[in-house]
Amino acid sequence: MLVSPMIQSVPHSKSAMENQPSNRRKAMKEELVEGRDAANQLLEILVCKSNTHHEGVEGLVLPFAEDLIRKVLRSFTNTLLLLNTHNDGSDEEVMYTTIKNVSSSVKCTNPEDKNESCKGFFNAKRRRGCHKRNAPTWEKDSSILMEDGYVWRKYGQKMTMNAKYLRSYYRCTHKYNEGCPAIKHVQRIQEDPPLYRTTYYGHHNCKTSLSSEIMLESAFSSDSSMFLSFSDTFPIKDHSFSSMKEEPMEVIPEDYGVHNQLPSSDNYLLLCDYGHDYNYSRHDTKPSSSESVQFDEVYGSSLDFYG
């Protein structure tokens, strides 16, 4: 949603951004990251409230507020994406590639067309293990695993050679229905304090991310039945909008050996999105991405992170 205006604002010659001192750009990034962190915290609060208020005005308003925060998160993500792919001279090309990809990706919204128009990054019939990949469009280290406003689905995890921790692989939920090529890797790179490296590849072209706007319009339309209907069809567990679904937990065995992949073990160390570690038995009710982690624990831990 934010992408198009930003694309238009980037000149083809030397951009205004490029002329700014690097420390100023760095400050801009920090501001954006701070805003995104704040939005994440606010979202946590709203998710908690959504879970406890299923009736009355709050039950109707909270989903709207929650959805608005997701839009804010997406805006931060997209802005950071564009900003981070413009770090130095060598990235200029990446920047324009980014813009071209986003622009052309509009064509991919028709699932019928994706075989032809979305070949650039992922072939529709991609062969297993074919992993030739462009340079990352954005790499970010963070002390917490936070939302970026998009819905991700985990498709694999693996121990890598020089890493102490598992790397998790996520693709956009709309990869197959809308041909969205966006993927990301999340790798824990440091134990204490916890540090995660999220690497984004490709860009979202899924129009579903805009569906919130449609829903909001529907909700606020003069048709009150729509409004009520919206409320009913907007549960927190709806995968399309569930914040917790967006970044499933990274499951890391407490005692992983030399195996390349996650061994079967009864003891797992689960890292939730909020950078807090929980121990669960594999045979217990596993905390799904959208539940089981008590908010007060989560929120408490979040507060810890933000001092």
Per CB under 7 A, residues contacting DNA are 122, 126-133, 153-158, 160-162, 167, 169, 171, 173, 183, 185, 201, 237, 239, 245, 248-249, 251, 259-264, 285-286, 288-289, 291-292
Question: Which candidate, 202, 185, 176, places its Cα nearest to that of 141?
Answer: 185
Residues, the chain: 307
State the minimum distance, in angstroms, from the CB of residue 287 to DNA. 8
Would you say 102 or 293 has its CB closer to DNA?
A: 293
Alpha-helical segments (H) within the chain: 3-9, 16-19, 22-52, 56-84, 89-105, 114-117, 175-178, 211-219, 224-232, 243-246, 295-305
Spatial distance between the Cα atoms of 152 and 182, rounded to a whole number of angstroms: 9
Would you say 30 or 284 has its CB closer to DNA?
A: 284
3-state helix, strand, coil in the chain (%, to 5): 45, 15, 40
Angle at 37 between CA 31 and CA 38, to 5 degrees: 90
Would you say 107 or 239 has its CB closer to DNA?
A: 239
State the minimum distance, in angstroms, from the CB of residue 32 to DNA. 26
Helix (H) or strand (E) holding 171: strand 166-172
State the minimum distance, in angstroms, from the CB of residue 118 to DNA. 12
Would you say 87 or 292 has its CB closer to DNA?
A: 292
Would you say 102 or 172 has its CB closer to DNA?
A: 172
Integer-rounded Cα radius of gyration of the chain: 20
Would you say 13 or 264 has its CB closer to DNA?
A: 264
State the minimum distance, in angstroms, from the CB of residue 276 to DNA. 16
State the minimum distance, in angstroms, from the CB of residue 139 to DNA. 12
Spatial distance between the Cα atoms of 71 and 93, rounded to a whole number of angstroms: 28
State the minimum distance, in angstroms, from the CB of residue 46 to DNA. 20
